Amino acid sequence: MSRGRLKPNDYKCIQDNFIFLKKELEARHLIDFLFQHGVISLEEKEHIGIKENKDARNDLLLTLILNAGPGDAFNYFLLSLEDRYRHVLTKLKGHSYSVQQQFHQEKNVLLEKLGHSHSLLQQFQQEKNVLLNKLDNLTSQLQISQGEVEKLEHEKDQVCDSCKQKIEKKKAKLCVMATRTATEKALALHSYADYQVTKLIVIGGFWEKDAGGITQMFDYVYQHGYAGAWSWDLMSNGDSQRAAIAHIKDYTHKGQISIVLQ
C-alpha cells in the first residue's frame, strides 16, 4: 500500500539511478531488513520473494520504496546496502549529496530572487505612496482652485449686478436738434426710445410757424409714454420761441413736463 512519495531529494536519488539499482541489486538480500524496519509490509515482502525474475523483484522493491512515505524509509534503504552493496551506497550518497547541493543552490537562487522581488515590492510601495501623496496634493489644489473659481464667479456676478444697477441708474441726457416738421421731430425722439432719458434739450431757431409742429412733437412724446419723467429745457434765442412755448404750457400742470425757459 502506498504511503505517499519519499522526500523530494530522496525520490529523485532513486528515480535518477533506477536502472543502475535495478541492475546491481538483488531484492531478496534486502527485503528482510526493510521489513524489520517497517519500510515494506509482510505481504509486500512475500510478494517480492515469490517473483522468479530478478528484474521484476528489483522493480517492485524500488517502486515500493519510492512510495514508502516521506519518513525514514530512504535512510533504512541506504543502511540495507552497507554489507553487500558498498559501491551502490557510495554512488547513491554521492548522488544524494549532489542533489542536496543542487537543491541548496536552487534554494539560494530562489531566495535571492525572492529578496529582489521583495526589494522591488518595497520600491513599488514607496513609489505608490509618493504618487498617492501627489494625487492628494493635486486633489487639494483642485478643491482650492474650484473654491477660488466659485469665489471669482460670485464676485463676477456681484460686479455684473452692480454694473447692471449702475447702468439702470445711469441717466442719459439726450439732445435733439429741433427740426421744422412734426414728423421729423417725432422720429428723432422715437429713435432714442430705448434709453432711460431724464432730460431732453431742444435746441434750434424756432419761428412762430413752428409752434404747431412743436406742439405735435410734445403730443407724440406724451402719448407714447416717453415723457414720463422728463424735464424739458427749451433753449430760446428770441421771442419767436416764446410763442411755441405758449402752446405747450398746458402739459405742465399734469406733472409730466416742466419747461425751463432760458
Of all residues in the chain, what percent are helix, strand and coil, respectively (each to 5)? 70, 10, 25
Q: Which pTM value belongs to this model?
A: 0.39
Is 50 exceeded by the pLDDT of residue 67? yes
Instruction: Give the pLDDT of residue 180.
Output: 41
Q: Quick: pLDDT tens for 168-177.
A: 444 433 334 4
**Average pLDDT of the segment spanning 248-261:** 43
In 3-state terms, what secondary structure has residue 50? coil
Highest average pLDDT, of 30-44, 145-159, 230-244, comes from: 30-44
Alpha-carbon distance 65 to 14, whole Å? 9
How does pLDDT run across 119-130, given as a tens digit for each residue? 888 888 888 888
Distance CA 67, CA 17 (A): 16
User: Distances from the Cα of 255 to the Cαs of 126, 229, 230, 231, in angstroms?
Assistant: 84, 9, 10, 10
Quick one: pLDDT at residue 116? 79
Distance CA 76, CA 69 (A): 12
